[in-house]
Amino acid sequence: MSQQRADGQHRCGAAVDGSSLVERFRAGVVAAASNYHQLADWPAVADHAVAHGDAVAIAPSLAAFEPALIGLLEQAGARVVVPDGADPAAAVAEVPVAIVRGELAIAETGSVLVAEHTLGDRVVTMLCRRLIQVVAAEQLVSRLEDAASWLEDRGGQPGFASLMTGPSRTADIERSLTIGVQGPDHVDVVVLSSIGAHTPIGGPSS
Amino acid sequence: MSVRPFDERYAAALADSDVRAGLTAFQRGWRDNRDQAIASLEQQEGRSFDELRAELAAIKDGVIADWSTYLDRFEANATAAGAEVTRVSTPGEANAHITSLIQAAGASLVVKGKSMVSEEIGLNEHLEANGITPVETDLGEWILQLAHEAPSHLVMPAIHKRKERIAALFERVLDREFPPDDIDRMVKAARTELRDRFLSSGVGLSGANALVAEGGSVMLVCNEGNNRMSVALPPVHVVTAGIEKLVPTYADAMKQVRLLGRSATAQPITVYTNFVTGPRPGQRQHIVLIDNGRTAMAEDPDVAAALRCIRCGACANVCPPYGVVGGHAFGHVYTGAIGLVNTAFHHGMEAAAGPQSLCVSCGACAEVCPVDIPLPVQILEVRRKAVESDTSVPAGRATGLAIEVFRHRKLFGAGMRVAGVLSAPWRRDTVTSFPSVLTSRGSLRTATSWRTPPAIPPRPARDTLKPGRLEEPPRLAEQPLAGRRVQLFLQCLSDRLAPDIPVATAKLLRAAGADVRVPHDQHCCGLPAYDAGEHHVARDLVRQTMDTLSDVDDVVTPASSCLAMLGHDAPHLLRSDVDEVERAQELAGRTYDLVGYLTKGPGRLPAGSLDDGDRTPVTVHRFCQASNTLERDDAIERLLTDVAGAPVVPLPEAAECCGFGGSTSVRHPEVAAGILDRKLGCVDETGSSILITDNPGCILHLRGGAHASGRQIRVVHLAEYLAGRVAGAAERASRR
């Protein structure tokens, strides 16, 4: 058995296990059948989204966090939907691509922790066929315990925090793995070189 | 869905050939994947599976030890987050409360995430009776709802159904074409059919994988995304959870996550792991916490540890009889080994009694359980309670009578001698081959068509081994046992039915220099009575064995099942008397099975010392209890390769039970036959014609199966194989 031991305290990109956090995270993402992308900034995210559909939904919490994204997407030629009205599900029903922001990226499992408290935030991760999950490089953490600390820090405030690891799938018929059941069937995990200096790790998004 | 009587479920499972074919393939694939997933977890964590599961077990035990504190903490935190928490005792209370919540919301349609506790309380039936339509949204559960069936597995509810059946079902219900090979189309149908339901449903129902006390959060895992949609979208969310689902902290929940996914589906983590804390804006959330026998389980030390269960289904995935009949027969609402334990508390002893004798006591479930529940011991305790509570089926009483005769050594011995005389005309080598006119119909056909009965030799081993009767065997060049007094514990079965095994053991030990003694009063370690739930008989037999085996250096038995009984089960059986436990432990401390004696005990043989030059390939069946209970690894294979110089071809599924274990082969021969067939199929794959193992029961069973199926496989005990090489090896050594 290996004596290497992942250290739960690592919250930066330092090397653990002889490979960097980002390398371990990427391996987990790929193993979970998501697509891994490293992009420079939000304009690059907008271009990536528009390449996959002419309409793009963005989570209301992301629209509040990064207001410029709406304009970037529109400039790139997309119809932008922010489902914060009376019927969020209907608003995104025919929208092929959605963008959400992750709170943490967990190297151990290749998971992105997404906080989705409002109905508007929830419908984008559940109803659109392609989901783009954006995290900043400095949001990479090592272990599931780091996600536990994030939850703990919220002190029981109402919320819906989801560790998402790959596109939805089933093996319920003869154990045959089929990607895409109720949730998205394509997931792009985007690691931004920097999401902006004002990003508080573990900060509220909802 | 109400559960049919066990006999009906059992007959239906046997009649459905899809069940066994599908489950055998599933079990093999799962085991390989799960073992890889656990190995990589061990490497990642730098800790063994046993350490990791002990940690999670301690967390769950700690909750039960201080249950009301954690329940109160969870309730306070969930309430602070906006949930309404209700505690109920019975399924009736739970169903009535949930129905009233749905009615208050004015909903007639509810969507459901997969929830075993809702199956436990019969929620769907209750809702339908009240005019509410529950829609299952997990693909497997939805298939079963359309087919009006119950889940047969905790995690993969429709694992018993082949794609052809599902395609036909979809064609009938959805009225369009579904080619059986187009699984993708069937999966996508669930998306299109269910999408509107999520959005139009007034209430979403879910279970809980964990309840996190520190934050008042409900943890829910799923792969399809249906579960999170059921709880997140409708304006009312109702959680139903057993009160054992509590964990103290989020960090504890993560430890569960690490073991749950890997133990359920060999995934490091499921696609979605959701922590739901209170309702979303505009939503109401109700959390219904149900007891339904859980407090009673906690108060019963025989089964309390079963409350650790995280419903991963691993115990079913390694269970040989489950692989033959599936979960509709092996279990009740809860399936697999855990179902044989907790059913008694959630659904009553009568519901638990039926499947009890399907368990072969192989111990595989305990090996893979991620919370280290001692399932084999617990199953035997529930079986005892079933026997004592008189809900047992009539066959149980017949077994009791047989055990009553068997417990008297002289009566049993006399009976076997008479049987030996009567069956002598049909004795063929190691089997009794009755004429086909006798075995072509009726119960004798059921009993013998798949397994030819063993020969009953004229003389038991104890007679052959009387002082002076056996000629001195040749001695090995090196004799590690010179000067040691060894008492041979014959094992009741081989003494009467396979005397060549203990006789070969005596020859081998003498060749290695031992002074071998065979106490004449010895009889049985108590295992058959223990397996049958007759614990008072088992205790008497253990005591008698302890009286007999005293006053020597070492006790050696050719049967590792006896060692498992004396070492592991006897102290448990005698636990009410400290002195007797000590006595049992003292005996166990100097008792070895032959393999242990030759590899880890005083009888370690030098490399090549039993090499007679024969290079015929052999293969090895690892006796399941030796692997699972005595934690034996590849000791037999190493002995054969290193000491005897024999080429060993690895046997697929080497440590899986052969079907002889427990009383299954007597009470449910169809199941034992199915397991035996799988084992012999694995032997076929090796191409070897010599099958070596070390438990006499397995050997009689495998010999009978090989004979009945016309296979040319020689099944021999390790002692017979090694003793057969002593003369050749001694001669080879003298020529050097």
Q: How confident is the model at residue B397 (pLDDT cuts 50, 70, 90)?
A: low
Backbone phi, then psi, for B371, in 5-degree steps?
-120, 20
- Quick: pLDDT tens for A75-96: 999 999 999 999 999 999 999 9
| The pLDDT of residue A186 is above 90 | yes
**Neighbouring C-beta atoms of residue A15, cutoff 10 Å:** 11
For range B175-185, the mean pLDDT: 94
**Size of the A and B interface in Cβ pairs below 8 Å:** 195
Give the mean model confidence (pLDDT) for residues A61-72: 96
Chain A from 172 to 191: CB within 8 A of any B CB = 172-176, 178, 180-184
Best A149, A170, A175 member to test B by mutation, with max B CBs in 10 Å, is A170
pLDDT of residue A201: 40
pLDDT (0 to 100) of residue A2: 36
Contact between B274 and A155 using a beta-carbon 8 Å cutoff: no
From first CA to last CA, the distance across chain B in angstroms is: 74
Min Cα distance B13 → chain A (Å) is 17
**Does residue A110 carry a pLDDT above 50?**
yes
Residue in chain A closest to B165 (alpha carbons) equals A173
In Å, how far from its chain's centre is CA B281?
A: 47
A20 and chain B in contact, CB less than 8 A: no
Reported as a single tens digit per residue, the pLDDT across A114-152 is 999 999 999 999 999 999 999 999 999 999 999 999 999
pLDDT tens sequence across B242-293: 999 999 999 999 999 999 999 999 999 999 999 999 999 999 999 999 999 9
How far is B657 from chain A, CA to nearest CA, in Å? 24
pLDDT at residue B444 in the model:
72
Contacts of B140 in chain A (CB under 8 A): 170, 172-173
Contact B215 A168 (CB under 8 A): no
Contact, B612 vs B476, CB < 8 A? no
CA distance A22 to chain B (A): 16
Residue B734 has a pLDDT of 84
Residues of B in contact with A171 (CB under 8 A): 156, 223, 265
CB contact under 8 A, B280 and A119: yes
Return the SS3 of B245: helix
| Secondary structure of residue B216 in the 3-state scheme | coil
CB contact under 8 A, B166 and A173: yes
Contacts A117 to B, Cβ<8 Å:
280-281
Asked if the C-beta of A157 comes within 8 angstroms of chain B's C-beta atoms, the answer is yes
Give me the residue from A161, A175, A180 closest to B275, CB to CB.
A161
| A4 has a pLDDT exceeding 80 | no
Q: What is the pLDDT of residues B550-589, one digit of tens each?
A: 777 899 999 999 999 998 899 999 999 999 999 999 999 9
Contact B659, B701 (CB under 8 A): yes
Q: Does A86 touch chain B (CB under 8 A)?
A: no
- pLDDT, tens digit (0-9, with 9 covering 90-100), for B340-383: 999 999 999 888 888 888 999 999 999 999 999 999 999 999 98
The sign of the CA dihedral B162, B168, B173, B174 is positive
Across the interface, of B186, B228, B250, the residue whose CB is closest to A126 is: B228
Q: How confident is the model at residue B4 (pLDDT cuts 50, 70, 90)?
A: confident
Nearest-Cα distance to chain A for B341, in Å, is 26
Q: What pLDDT, on a 0 to 100 scale, did the predictor assign at position B396? A: 57
| Rounded Cα distance, A117 and A206, in Å | 6
pLDDT, one tens digit per residue, over B74-127 is 999 999 999 999 999 999 999 999 999 999 999 999 999 999 999 999 999 999
SS3 string, B602-613, reads: CCCCCCCCCCCC
Residue B486, token pair as written in the block: 């060894």
Q: Which residues of B touch A168 (CB under 8 A)?
A: 223-225, 271-272
Q: Do B217 and A151 touch (CB under 8 A)?
A: yes
A121's CB contacts (< 8 A; 6+ apart) are A59, A60, A61, A100, A115, A206
Give A75 to chain B, closest Cα distance, Å: 32
pLDDT tens by residue, B197-216: 998 999 999 999 999 999 99
DSSP, collapsed to helix, strand or coil, labels residue A191 as strand
Mean pLDDT (chain B, rounded) = 92
| Contact of B413 with B496, CB cutoff 8 Å | yes
Distance of CA B568 to the CA centre of its chain: 16
Report pLDDT for A204. 40
Residues B603 and B691: their CA atoms lie apart, in Å, by: 23
Q: Cα separation of B608 and B499, whole Å?
A: 27
A152·B279 Cβ contact <8 A: no
In whole angstroms, what is the distance from residue B503 CA to residue B484 CA? 18
Q: Is A4 on the interface with B (CB under 8 A)?
A: yes
User: Which residue among B163, B223, B277 sits closest to A157, beta carbon to beta carbon?
Assistant: B277
Q: Taking CB atoms and an 8 Å cutoff, what residues of chain B touch A148?
A: 249-251, 253-254
Q: Would you call A181 and B225 a contact, using CB atoms and an 8 Å cutoff?
A: yes
Residue B617: which of B642, B641, B646 has the closest Cα? B646
Asked if the Cβ–Cβ distance from B275 to A4 is below 8 Å, we say: no
The answer on pLDDT for B604 being more than 90 is yes
Suggest the residue from B193, B252, B271, B283 to mutate for an interface test with chain A (most A CBs closer than 10 A): B271
Question: Which of A160, A169, A171 is nearest residue B274 as measured by Cβ atoms?
Answer: A160
pLDDT at position A7: 40
What's the CA gap between B239 and B249, in Å, rounded? Answer: 19
A117 Cα to chain B: minimum distance (Å): 6
Put simply, whether A163 touches B (Cβ < 8 Å) is yes
Nearest to B158 among A32, A119, A172 (CB): A172
Q: Mean pLDDT throughout B393-420? A: 75
Q: Is A196 on the interface with B (CB under 8 A)?
A: no
- In this predicted structure, what is the pLDDT of residue A194? 65
Using the Cβ of A1 and the Cβ atoms of chain B, whether some distance falls under 8 Å is answered with: yes
Q: Give the per-residue pLDDT at B402.
A: 77
- Please, is B5 exposed, middle or buried when counting C-beta atoms within 10 Å of its C-beta (0-12, 13-18, 19+)? exposed
Residue A85 near chain B (CB below 8 Å) = no
- Per mean pLDDT, which range of B375-389, B645-659, B683-697 is the poorest? B375-389
pLDDT value at residue B390: 67
What average pLDDT does the segment B688-710 reach?
95
B438 pLDDT more than 90: no
Say if A109 is an interface residue toward chain B (CB within 8 Å).
yes
Identity of the amino acid at B679: K
Question: Under 8 Å CB-to-CB from B437, ≥6 apart: which residues?
Answer: none
- How far, in Å, are A69, B42, B624 from residue B687 at the CA level? 66, 35, 22
pLDDT at B398 (0 to 100) = 66
